[in-house]
Chains A and B, each alone.
Chain A
């Protein structure tokens, strides 16, 4: 036969429960497929319950519990750091645009100082009372610099295998 016996579930239930009623016994006596099922089930159970020679190295429940907790905490930390990086990047961009905008709006004054006094744009901005512009410039530098430092540290961590996230073994 190439198809399973329609009364297979009857035999499977009897195998599982160990209770063989008359209907199951009668069918089993005449069905080769179900006889095969019983034999394979017996062999599998014998095989499955045999103790393996190498003893399992089972981790304790307490270890697994605390490891899972640690991994969860690391994941939260990682997620927070990712958001913080995006925030720094966005804030740096906003301040950069602010500084650029301020300089553009006061370009007339800045340009005069810049050309005549051979000052840098930054010094020219400062001499024209652009304290806000200077503040924006340094905030931009600080935030982008911090982001760069962070990225470099993570890259170095990846290189040396010191990931924030332990991955599963390949």
Chain B
């Protein structure tokens, strides 16, 4: 990868990756730091990915590992995992938007947050999610189902409108 290729890749992935890290950590400053570290590790690893999809999956894998490492260090230092800490409402979402969703998302575990984000925001396939999260591809379906159910219960989702058929 040369500098111009990296520049294009960075332009495409930086904001979504920051959003992912921000939602996982609930800390904008930490998300900034981890994002920078993730890109540096990607560049220094000199990984040769066949295409940008694989490279993106690799970047998300690095970022997810960095978040896990951060929580583990926090746990070693303080003796508890601070991942479920409550942030000030203004740091989570725009107050005009659904605050309930942000609060519910905070109550999920790190793995559940990653699963739901990668599946429904990033639109990754189960195979890609398994690569990012170091999980078996076969177990993604069940884990995603449980995470979905937990979030639905937290949000108390009940109604659904069946979409009209599109050609």
Residues of chain A touching chain B, judged by Cβ–Cβ distance below 8 Å, are 3-4, 8, 12, 14-16, 18-22, 25, 28-29, 33, 35-41, 43-54, 56-59, 61-62, 64-65, 67-68, 71-72, 168-170
Q: Which chain B residue lies CB-closest to A58?
A: B14
Chain A proximity mask over B133-167: 1 for CB below 8 Å, otherwise 0: 00000000110110011011001010110111111
Contacts of B54 in A (CB 8 A): none
- Return the contact of A51 from the options B14, B37, B94, B98 (Cβ within 8 A): B94
Chain B interface SS verdict (over half): helix
Contacts of A168 in B (CB 8 A): 37
Ranked nearest first, the 6 interchain pairs of A and B with the lowest CB-CB distance are A48-B121, A68-B43, A44-B120, A35-B160, A4-B145, A61-B10
B48 within 8 A of A: no
Task: Say yes or no: B98 contacts A71, CB within 8 Å.
Answer: no
A62: min CB distance to chain B, Å: 7
Q: Which chain B residue lies CB-closest to A169?
A: B33
Task: Say yes or no: A53 contacts B91, CB within 8 Å.
Answer: yes
Can you name 11 A-B residue pairings with CB atoms under 8 Å? Answer: A3-B145, A4-B141, A8-B145, A19-B166, A21-B166, A39-B159, A43-B98, A43-B157, A46-B101, A47-B121, A56-B32
Contacts of A72 in B (CB 8 A): 44
Task: Say yes or no: B148 contacts A37, CB within 8 Å.
Answer: yes
A167: min CB distance to chain B, Å: 11
Query: With A49-B121, A65-B3 as given contacts, are A25 and B165 in contact (CB-CB < 8 Å)?
Result: yes
Contacts of A51 in B (CB 8 A): 94
Contacts of A36 in B (CB 8 A): 148-149, 152, 157, 160
Contacts of A44 in B (CB 8 A): 116-117, 119-121, 151
- Return the contact of A58 from the options B29, B35, B116, B152 (Cβ within 8 A): B35
- Return the contact of B6 from the options A15, A29, A54, A65 (Cβ within 8 A): A65
Q: Which chain B residue lies CB-closest to A23?
A: B165
**Besides A18-B166, A44-B116, A56-B31, 13 new A-B residue pairs in contact (Cβ under 8 A), listed by A number:** A20-B164, A22-B165, A33-B145, A36-B157, A40-B152, A40-B157, A43-B98, A50-B97, A53-B91, A58-B15, A59-B36, A64-B36, A64-B39
B23 within 8 A of A: yes
Contacts of B164 in A (CB 8 A): 20, 25
A170: min CB distance to chain B, Å: 6
- How long is the Cα–Cα vector from A71 to B43 in the complex, in angstroms? 10
